[in-house]
Amino acid sequence: MKNALEAYLKEQKIEYYGVLSYSDCREIGKEIIERSGIVPRSVILYLVPYYVGDGENFSSYATSYDYHIILREIGEGIISLLKRYFPDSHSVAYGDHSPIDEKYAAASLGLGVIGLNKLLINEKYGSYVFIGDVVTDVDPEKLCAQGPVLPRGCVGCGKCLDACPTGILSGDESLGCLSAITQRKGELTDAEIALMRSVGTAWGCDECQRCCPHNKKIAVTGIEFFHRERITRLERDAVEEMDRSAFIKRAFSWRGKKTVLRNIDILEGGAACEGE
């Protein structure tokens, strides 16, 4: 199984991965694993690098197709392998909404350090990585699980704290995260609109990543998925013309087209509400 997993992930251009005992992970969503019906024993965790280039007026992670698509495909591939070698096993794949603290688990595997910006930072791809994990009831010994290492922090220069538009990284929670603001439905406040315009973002926020010294000279991802049909700038006409099948393939689609169009209008000096 170890060799098969390595071969499969290599084929997917996944270079950084590992296996932990579930007991060595920080469980942050007990209800999530309870809903799965699995008795968790092991976690297969992997990093999916996504950086191809910056977006002009939105986050780089959203310039490509929705990353949940490829996380799901890779996770399903791992589950198929587990079924092949352990026919009676039960497993479930996660990404973003996991029962474990994925960043802490990845750092415990030595796959990166945890930055002051709360992101996992990999030595090759910087913080431009998604974390996927498969939780399974297969015993960790059968998957050659690693013993955890003590998670390390970044260089601690504080540049991300200074660059954060809302100050949330420094403990000021009055405005929240700018990325979350851009994903909020309905009418925004004058302060929120001003923040979006000052940064020039119609979706997400990469300010704490762009200034990070760990992200200098990072490698471009070798995963073809992130290179296909990229959008480098959000334009009203282009978004309006997307039919539903095209729109839902994008990471910026989950809050609906009206929210994205509202944000584009804000940057262009328009209204702050989504309208009808």
- The residue among 193, 207, 125 whose CA lies nearest residue 163 is 207
**CA–CA gap between residue 110 and residue 149 (Å, rounded):** 7
**CA–CA gap between residue 210 and residue 215 (Å, rounded):** 7
Neighbours of 194 (CB within 10 A): 13
What is 171-237 written as a DSSP string?
A: T--SS--HHHHHT--SPPPHHHHHHHHHHT-SS---HHHHT-GGGTTPPPP--GGGGTT---S--HH
**CA–CA gap between residue 252 and residue 155 (Å, rounded):** 31
Clarify whether 139 is annotated catalytic. Answer: no
Secondary structure (3-state) at 113: strand
Would you say the C-alpha torsion 93, 95, 97, 102 has a positive or negative sign? positive
Catalytic-labelled residue, pool 54, 66, 88, 96 = 96
**CA–CA gap between residue 140 and residue 71 (Å, rounded):** 22
Would you say the C-alpha torsion 136, 95, 126, 178 has a positive or negative sign? negative
Question: Which residues carry out catalysis?
Answer: 96
